[in-house]
A and B are shown apart, each in its own frame.
Chain A
């Protein structure tokens, strides 16, 4: 059973370009979460999605950032018109659908975005 997959692992963009980060959850997992980790800082929640639904986007910047998790295919985190401050590691995590109990999240290897 493959783990959470993210691609690309490293992404370099110039200011003003678009960045697309992809995440394929673990098999059987229907919940996807995106986190951002700035250098020397902790992980910050961005958005929580289920298939075709955004459940919680309270951590997403109001502009330039969007996320989707379509019925088919990976979850996509899209950053438009990137700025240098967007440079960070972006981690995706997934968890199974649980009616109760402890909701462990499994993390992908991350995408390291560098904005020049």
Chain B
């Protein structure tokens, strides 16, 4: 069983649409959660950390459900520049240990 599972998509949505990505993780001891964004042939870049209480950054909202071991990312008012692969990332400790990556969800925003 994979540590982190994501729907690979692809998601093709029109500009202005709202889109949601989901992710589940297998280790209940996981403590740190992130969404990273990876553009084609580029390195992953942090989009946002995911806090237990949920958090919002502009058009992006992340939610964590520890009981269900589930993480979500909501993107409102999609822009063309949001087209990328979104990586769900889970870490088991808060002390700089390894990250477990999902395989990523591909998003294409269509004009």
Residue numbers of A with Cβ under 8 A of B are 31, 33, 35, 41-45, 48, 55-56, 58-59, 89, 91, 93, 95-110
The docked-state distance in angstroms from the alpha carbon of A46 to that of B72 is 26
Do B101 and A42 touch (CB < 8 A)?
yes
- Of B11-19, B42-50, B58-66, B76-84, the stretch lying at the interface with chain A is B42-50
Q: Does B100 count as interface, using CB distance less than 8 angstroms?
A: yes
**In contact, A103 and B98 (Cβ under 8 angstroms):** no
Task: Tell me whether B28 is interfacial, beta carbon within 8 Å.
Answer: no
Q: Are A97 and B96 in contact (CB under 8 A)?
A: yes
Name the residue on A nearest B33 (C-beta). A102
Per CB-CB distance, the 10 closest pairs between chain A and chain B, nearest first, are A42-B103, A107-B43, A43-B101, A45-B98, A31-B96, A103-B96, A42-B101, A95-B96, A102-B49, A100-B94
B residues near A, CB below 8 A?
Answer: 32, 34, 41-46, 49, 87, 91, 93-104
Q: Are the C-beta atoms of B45 and A107 separated by less than 8 Å? A: yes
Give the CA-CA distance A44 to B91 in the complex, in Å: 13
- Could you give 11 example pairs across A and B, Cβ below 8 Å? A35-B99, A45-B100, A48-B96, A55-B97, A56-B98, A93-B99, A100-B95, A101-B94, A103-B32, A107-B44, A110-B43
Contact A98 B43 (CB under 8 A): no
Minimal Cβ-Cβ distance residue in B for A3: B43
**Interchain nearest-CB distance for B44 vs A (Å):** 5
Given contacts A41-B103, A43-B87, A102-B49, contact A91 B98 (CB under 8 A): no
Closest chain A CB from B38 CB (angstroms): 8
With CB as the reference atom, state the residue of chain A lying closest to B3: A45
Contact across chains for B44 and A43 when beta carbons are under 8 A apart: yes
Nearest CB in chain B to that of A98: its residue: B96
